[in-house]
Chain A
Amino acid sequence: MFAIRSSIKLGQQMRRAYVESTQRRELVLPLPDFFATPDITSAANYFAGPGGHRVASSPTLGALLQKRRSPGQSLTEDEEAELCELHREFFNLDRAARNGLGVAPDGSTLDGEGFNALITIRQWRRGADPNPPVLQRLAGTFVEIGVDYLANVPGALNRDSRHGKPIAGFLEAMGDIRFSEEKLGTLPARLFVATLETVSEQSDLLSGDTKTQELVRVVTRSLSSDVARHIEQLRAGGGSDLVREARLSDWAETVFRSLLSSAGGHVLAHPERFLGVQEEAGAELVSRVGESVLGLLLDESGLSIDRLFSRQSVTRILRPALAVAGEHPDLFLKGNHAGFQRLLGEMATRLAGSENLLARDTVPEVMRLILEKTGENLPLLWPNPGREPGRHLLLMAAQTTLEVLSRPSSIEDVWSPAFGRTELITITDAVLDELAANPAWLAAITGKEDERLKLVLESALRMIRLRASPQLSPVIAADIVRAVVQASARRVEFLKPVSGDGTGDPPPLVAAVLDAILQAVFDPDLGESAAWQVRRPEVLLNLVKSVLAELAGSRPRAETVAVLEGCLRKQLAALTRGEAFDLPAFELALHKALTKKPARKKKETP
C-alpha cells in the first residue's frame, strides 16, 4: 500500500510539475521581417544624426553624401563601400570618445547564438511565477511520503535528525535537476523510496553524520544526471523506447541502492577519498565509480548484460571498484574514469566470451576477484591504466583460465563432467592469487610467456579427462587443478616440458607428475583393496597435494617422474596386499627416493 500511495501522490505531482514547466517554458521569439544588416541607409542616417559633426571635417564624406542625395545621381559600388567604411570608422571613434558602448573588450560582435540567448523569453518575470518551483512541489510530496513511511520514527523529517539527513541530501540533489528538461520519468520517485528503504535497513547510514547526507546527495545527483544523459543520447540516436528507458532506470536504481547500502559503509569510512572533501567536485570518487559501473551495465554493444549480471552481483563489483578507486584515485579523476569503465567493459566482454560459461554471476564474480587483486598491485597488473584495458594481466590470466576450463570434453575423454560456477571461480581465484603473489610469474605472463599458464591448465585438465574415473567429482577435479597451479607458481621447474607421448606439445613436468599419479590410482588393473582406499576423493586430493609439495621441496626434473612412478607402484602393491594407506609414510618414502644419491659405479680394476 505504501508503494501504491506513494506512486499516486508522486505521479500526480510530477504530472502537475510537467504541466507547469510547459506553461513556464522559455520561447525563442522570432523578430518580424526587417532589414537586419547595417548598410548604406544606416550610414546615411548616422551622418544625418549622431555622426553629423563628422561631415564638416571630412570633405570626402560630405561629397559622397551630397552626391547620393542629388537627383539623377547615384553612388557607384565603390563609393557606397567607402561610405559604409566611413560609417564604421567614425562610429567606432565616436564610441571610443564616449566610452559608453563597446562593452566587449575582446572585440567580439553579436552572433546568432548570443542574439538568441537575449531573445529567449520566460513566461513570467523572475519571482512572479505563481506555480511552486518543481523542487518545492515534489519535495512536498516526497516529505508526505516520508511521513507515511517513517511515521514511526520520531523526528525523521527533521533535517537535522539522523533520519532527516539522508532525506535532506536527496532533496538537495533533486534541487540541481531540471525535471522538465531531463525527462527522468519515474526515477526520482524510485530513488527516493530507495533512499528511505536503504536508510531504514542500514543502521550505519543513520549515524547522524553529515557525511551520510553528502553521500546521498552526491550519489543521487550523479546518477540522475548520468541517466538523463543516457536517455538524451538514446533519444538523439532515435533508438529510445519505453523498454530501454525502463531498463536504464532499473539498473540506475540498482547501482544507487548498492552505492548507498553495501558500498556506503566503505565510503563513509573514508569520506576524504570518496566525497570530494579534499578537492573540488571532480573528486567525488563515489560518483565516478557509480557512473563507470552504470556505464558497463548500460552497454549495448551486443553483450548480454542482463544475462550476465544479477542485482546482487552489481554490489559485488561496486565494493572492490570503490577499493580500487580509493587506492588509485588518479584512475578516476580528471576525466579518466572512462578508462576504468573500458576495463570493466573489456572484462565483461572477454570473460563472457568463454564457451559454456552459462552460469549467471560467474562473470561478475570473476570481475570482483580481478578488481580486488588489482588494488593491491596496480602498476604491475595494469601497466598502462586507462589506455589498454585488454593488457590488464589478471584479466588476461582469468580469460585464459576460463577459456581452458570451460571447454567441452571430447568423445575420447574418460572424465567428461563440466566445471560449474563454483569450480570455475575456485580455480580462477587460485590462479589470480598465485599471479598476484608472484611478480616473477606476472612478469612472465606478458608476451609469449602467456602461453605457460595456458599450457599448465590445459595439460592438467587433459590428464584428468584422460585418466580419472567418471565418478571423480568436479569439485575434487577443481581442487586438483588448483594444487597444480599453486605448485607451478612455487617452482618454475614444474613448467619445463618433458617428453610426452608424441601427440601435441610436450606437457610440462607438473602435468607429467599428475599423469603419473592419476594413471596409478585409476589403473583398471589396480587391486580392489588399493583402489578402495586411494580413489576416495580426499585421499586422492591429499596424495596429489603431498606429492607436489614433496617434489617442490626437492629438485624437480624429468627423472623425478620415474622415481615417483616407482614409489607409487610400491605403495599400491602394499595396499593391494591389504595394508592401510599411510600418507606420511608414503611421503617419507618418496622423500628418501628423491634424495637418494645414485650409486657410484665401482672402479674397474685393471
Chain B
Amino acid sequence: MIEARHSIPRRNPVGTLSALAGILAIVAATGCVSVNHLRDAQESFNQAAAAENALRLESTTPIDASGGGTLAAWSSARNGYASALLSLEKLEAADRQRLRQDGLWGTALTLKALSQWRLGHFDGALATAVEARETAADQIYPRDQALLWALPGLIKTDQAYHKILRGNSLPEVEALLIGANGAISDIQSARKLAETDHPVHQYLLQAKLAAYRNFQVALDRLQNHATVPVDHSARVEANADLKELDRLLKARNTGTDGGNLVEYWATLCALDPP
C-alpha cells in the first residue's frame, strides 16, 4: 500500500469525480431506502404532532368536538399520523431486516406505536410496544424506551378524557387517572427509566400534568363542581411535577417560552407557582 501511495497518478479531475459520484451514489442507494421510509415517517409524525399540539393550545374547544375549522385541523393532524403509520407498515421484509441491521428497528417500532396511539388504535399501539420490547430491546434508545413505558399511561389519559366527555362515572375515571395502575402512575414509572436530566422528562411531566388536569375536570363535572383538595396526593404530586418542570426548563435556558409554559400549567391546573 505504501508503494502505491507514492505513485498516485494525476488524474483528470472530471473523470475522477464522475467515478467518485457514481460510486457514492451506488453506496448511498444500497440500503438507504428503508432509512428513508423511517425518516419520512418521522417527518410526517413531527408535522402531525406539531399541528395537534398547536391546535390543542390555541383552541378554546375540545379538539374532537364537532366544529368546522377545529375539526378540519384535527383531521389534518390525523392524516399526518396515518401517513407515518403507512410508511412504517409498508416496509418490506428486506427493509425491516435492513433496519434491524442498522439498529433502527426499535426506533421504527416506537414511532409506529406512537402513531397508532394518536390514531386511537390503542390495542395495536400496546401490541407494538410489546413487540418492540421483545424483538428490539437492544435497539430501543433512552427517549424511545421512556415513551414505550409511558404509553399505557398516555392511552389511559385519552380514555379518561373521553369518558369525562361522555359523562361516565367518576370512579372509572379516577381509576384511569390516579389509581394505582392509573395514567399518572404509569408515566411516573416511565420517568424512572430515563436519566435525571434527560429532556424526555419535560414531556413526561407535562403528560402527567395533563392527566391531573383531566382528573380536576372530572371532579368538577362528575361530582357536582368539586375541587381537588389542597392536600390531595394527586395535587401534591402535580405541584412537585410543576416545580421539577420549572427546574428542567431553567436548566435548559428556555427563557421566556419556558416561563410561559410553567405559567400555563400553573394557571390551567390551579397549581402553586414554583
Interface of A toward B, CB cutoff 8 Å: 1-4, 6-8, 10-12, 14-15, 18-19, 22-38, 40-46, 48-52, 68-69, 71, 91, 94-95, 98, 100-104, 106, 108-125, 128, 148-149, 151-152, 185-186, 189-190, 193-194, 197, 201, 246, 249, 253, 257, 311
Contacts of B27 in A (CB 8 A): 7-8, 11-12, 14-15
Cβ of B93 < 8 Å from any Cβ of A?
A: no
Contacts of A114 in B (CB 8 A): 257, 260-261
Contacts of B259 in A (CB 8 A): 101-104
Closest 9 A/B residue pairs (Cβ): A112-B54, A11-B27, A103-B259, A7-B23, A45-B270, A32-B157, A34-B210, A151-B5, A48-B227
Tell me whether A115 and B19 are in contact in the complex, defined as CB-CB below 8 angstroms, given that A19-B35, A124-B142 are known contacts.
Answer: no
Contact A50 B273 (CB under 8 A): yes
Contact B257 A10 (CB under 8 A): no
Contacts of A95 in B (CB 8 A): 263, 273
Contact B256 A108 (CB under 8 A): yes
Could you tell me which residues of chain B, from 252 to 266, have a CB within 8 Å of some CB in chain A? 254-264, 266
Contact A115 B261 (CB under 8 A): yes
Contact B16 A193 (CB under 8 A): yes
Cβ of B72 < 8 Å from any Cβ of A?
A: no
Contacts of A124 in B (CB 8 A): 141-143, 198
Cβ of B217 < 8 Å from any Cβ of A?
A: yes
Cβ of B62 < 8 Å from any Cβ of A?
A: yes
Interface centre among A6, A104, A113, A123 (most CB of B within 10 A): A123
Min CB gap A458→B, angstroms: 42
Could you tell me which residues of chain B, from 140 to 171, have a CB within 8 Å of some CB in chain A? 141-144, 147, 154-155, 157-158, 161-162, 164
Contact A121 B202 (CB under 8 A): yes
Contact A125 B23 (CB under 8 A): no
Contact B199 A122 (CB under 8 A): yes
Contacts of B10 in A (CB 8 A): 201
In the complex, the chain B residue whose C-beta lies closest to that of A148 is B5
In the complex, the chain A residue whose C-beta lies closest to that of B106 is A23
In the complex, the chain A residue whose C-beta lies closest to that of B2 is A151
Interface of B toward A, CB cutoff 8 Å: 2, 4-6, 8, 10-11, 13-14, 16-17, 19-28, 31-32, 35, 38-39, 42, 45-46, 48-50, 52-64, 102-104, 107, 111, 114, 118, 141-144, 147, 154-155, 157-158, 161-162, 164, 183, 195, 197-200, 202-203, 206-207, 210-211, 213-214, 216-217, 220-221, 224-225, 227-230, 235, 249, 254-264, 266-274
SS class of chain B's interface: helix, strand, loop or mixed? helix
Contacts of A14 in B (CB 8 A): 24, 27-28
* Total CB contacts across the A-B interface at under 8 A: 294
Contact A197 B13 (CB under 8 A): yes
Contacts of A311 in B (CB 8 A): 14
Min CB gap B101→A, angstroms: 9
Tell me whether A49 and B270 are in contact in the complex, defined as CB-CB below 8 angstroms, given that A15-B32, A19-B102, A152-B5 are known contacts.
Answer: yes
Contact B50 A116 (CB under 8 A): yes
Interface pairs (13), CB distance under 8 Å = A14-B27, A19-B104, A23-B103, A31-B53, A32-B183, A33-B162, A37-B60, A41-B220, A45-B216, A110-B257, A117-B257, A123-B142, A152-B8
Contact A30 B53 (CB under 8 A): yes
Contacts of B60 in A (CB 8 A): 37
Contacts of B48 in A (CB 8 A): 30
Min CB gap A9→B, angstroms: 9
In the complex, the chain B residue whose C-beta lies closest to that of A6 is B20
Contact B56 A2 (CB under 8 A): no
For A109, give its contact among B225, B230, B260 (CB under 8 Å).
B260
For A125, give its contact among B63, B111, B197 (CB under 8 Å).
B197
Contacts of B14 in A (CB 8 A): 311
User: How far, in whole Å, are A37 and B57 apart by their CA atoms in the complex?
Assistant: 7
In the complex, the chain B residue whose C-beta lies closest to that of A104 is B256
For A45, give its contact among B8, B20, B103, B227 (CB under 8 Å).
B227
Contact A98 B256 (CB under 8 A): no
In the complex, the chain A residue whose C-beta lies closest to that of B161 is A33
Interface centre among A114, A149, A189 (most CB of B within 10 A): A114
User: How far, in whole Å, are A240 and B118 apart by their CA atoms in the complex?
Assistant: 32
Min CB gap A135→B, angstroms: 18
Contacts of B55 in A (CB 8 A): 112
Tell me whether A15 and B31 are in contact in the complex, defined as CB-CB below 8 angstroms, given that A32-B207, A33-B162, A121-B202 are known contacts.
Answer: yes
Contact B195 A110 (CB under 8 A): no
Tell me whether A32 and B53 are in contact in the complex, defined as CB-CB below 8 angstroms, given that A41-B220, A103-B255, A117-B257 are known contacts.
Answer: no
Contact A46 B57 (CB under 8 A): no
Contacts of A6 in B (CB 8 A): 20
Contact B266 A101 (CB under 8 A): yes
Min CB gap A87→B, angstroms: 8
User: How far, in whole Å, are A50 and B46 apart by their CA atoms in the complex?
Assistant: 36
In the complex, the chain A residue whose C-beta lies closest to that of B26 is A11
